[in-house]
Amino acid sequence: MDRDGHAELDALRESFQAELERKAARIAQLEQLVDETHLGYRSTLSWKLTAPLRAVGRIRRALRRSG
């Protein structure tokens, strides 16, 4: 491969790396938003009131799997 070909390949690699870094940063932002939203919801009255129902559902599923 000639010098121009190597330079083009290097530029393409750098471009891909930059795009991967941008996407990784966006994924991290979205994960943070999901975590914040989840924590916010868990502190609501609705979450607290439905906790016993979710617990019963988990117990029923566990019993079905074991029995």
pLDDT tens, 7-61?
Answer: 999 999 999 999 999 999 999 999 999 999 999 999 999 999 999 999 999 999 9
Report the C-alpha gap between 32 and 40 in whole angstroms: 12
Domain residue limits, the chain? 3-66
Residues 31 and 23: beta-carbon distance below 8 Å: no
pLDDT score at 38: 93
pTM listed for this prediction: 0.61
Summarize the confidence of residues 60-67 as an average pLDDT: 90
Instruction: Please state the φ and ψ torsions of residue 25, each to the nearest 5 degrees.
Output: -65, -40
**Pairwise CA distance, residues 51 & 13, whole Å:** 50
The full length of the chain comes to 67
